[in-house]
């Protein structure tokens, strides 16, 4: 029998939505291991929403308080979590694979001397060992890993583990932490504009790009007439423009109509090779050298 520790995230004294998913994944592992779920959150004081974590599978909610834990403190967080893991009998520790979790989970794993499975999309227990599934090669394949030894360190991909509510309340525990925050200090976290969702937590993302012609037209995507409720819009104006080839020109320098197939001349930087051709037309010189464009054009010479 092994318990599972779920590391939650808070911001500005309120629990983040991704924490519910972390508890749901931890509950799935705990049921297979035959143990319970301890939810751990680090903050400067009481965290709003921590009392609701029991509805998603946590048996106990532990709040570690420190005046320096109001904002993310990488070294202080990692030290406090590692000490908590060492003091218990945990078979697995789950994090969120968020921006914070991707920085925090490796720090804790290094302190414990354990390997870390990142960006996990499925968890299971086979033969008493924790097995996880994670995407590789930009999602083109799925890799299944078997984690030997304890605790199994796992970070769960957001928006994959759908929170499941249970009619159950968790016990609350608060303990002060005296360890310093560490050398790395987070000064400020820039919040999203009022009334907008965090991109990482939005169920639907509506993306707009250069088809809208200019940034002023981006407001069309924000009209409630067709944008789903709860969706987050995001622009792509910072994306660099795709390089386009220069227009086809004749050897005299004038533009060549698309119906003409006698050839085009482009800068030598776009040529991939040269060859000598003896054209059949008597209007051309007997022998003529020309470049083959590396970009297709309707007026490029027949090859």
What pLDDT, in 10s, does the model give residues 82-97? 999 999 889 999 999 9
What does the DSSP 8-state code read for residue 228? Answer: P
Stretch(es) of the chain classified as CATH 3.40.50.620: 3-176
The two structure tokens encoding residue 269: 């930087």
pLDDT over 90 percentage in the chain: 42
pTM of the full predicted structure? 0.68
Is the pLDDT score of 19 beyond 90?
yes
The residues pairing with 61 across neighbouring beta strands, listed in sequence order, are 39, 172
DSSP 281: -
Give 248-291 pLDDT, tens digit per residue: 555 555 555 544 444 455 554 444 444 444 455 545 444 444 44
Q: For residue 112, what pLDDT is reported?
A: 94
Residue 155's pLDDT band (cuts 50, 70, 90): very high
Q: Hey, which of 162-176, 200-214, 267-281 has the most confident mean pLDDT?
A: 162-176
Helix residue ranges per DSSP H, the chain? 18-33, 74-87, 101-112
* Nearest Cα residue to 105 out of 82, 135, 133, 129: 82
Mean confidence (pLDDT) of the chain: 78
What CATH number does the domain located at 3-176 have?
A: 3.40.50.620
Helix residue spans in 91-157 (DSSP H): 101-112
CA distance 2 to 200: 31
**289, β-bridge pairs:** 276
């Amino acid at each position: 029998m092994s318990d599972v520790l779920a590391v939650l995230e808070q911001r500005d004294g309120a629990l983040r939505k991704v924490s519910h998913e972390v508890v749901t994944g931890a509950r799935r592992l705990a049921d297979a291991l035959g143990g319970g779920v301890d939810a751990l959150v680090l903050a400067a004081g009481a965290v709003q929403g921590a009392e609701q974590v029991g509805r998603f599978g946590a048996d106990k909610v532990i709040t570690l308080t420190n005046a320096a834990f109001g904002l993310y403190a990488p070294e202080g967080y990692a030290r406090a979590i590692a000490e908590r893991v060492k003091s218990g009998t945990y078979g697995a520790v789950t994090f969120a694979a968020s921006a914070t979790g991707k920085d925090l989970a490796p720090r804790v794993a290094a302190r414990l001397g354990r390997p870390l499975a990142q960006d996990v999309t499925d968890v299971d227990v086979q033969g008493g060992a924790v097995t996880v599934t994670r995407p590789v090669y930009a999602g083109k394949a799925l890799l299944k890993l078997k984690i030997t030894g304890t605790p199994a360190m796992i970070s769960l991909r957001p928006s994959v583990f759908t929170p499941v509510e249970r009619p159950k309340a968790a016990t609350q525990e608060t303990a002060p932490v005296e360890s310093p925050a560490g050398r790395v200090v987070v000064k400020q976290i820039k919040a999203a504009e009022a009334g907008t969702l965090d991109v990482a937590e939005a169920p639907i993302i509506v993306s707009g790009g250069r088809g809208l012609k200019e940034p002023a037209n981006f407001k069309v995507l924000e009209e409630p007439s067709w944008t789903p409720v709860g969706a987050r819009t995001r622009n792509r104006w910072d994306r660099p423009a795709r390089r386009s080839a220069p227009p086809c020109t004749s050897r005299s320098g004038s533009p060549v109509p698309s119906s003409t197939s006698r050839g085009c001349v482009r800068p030598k930087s776009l040529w991939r090779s040269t060859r000598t051709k003896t054209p059949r037309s008597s209007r051309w010189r007997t022998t003529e050298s020309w470049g083959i464009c590396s970009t297709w054009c309707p007026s490029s010479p027949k090859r």
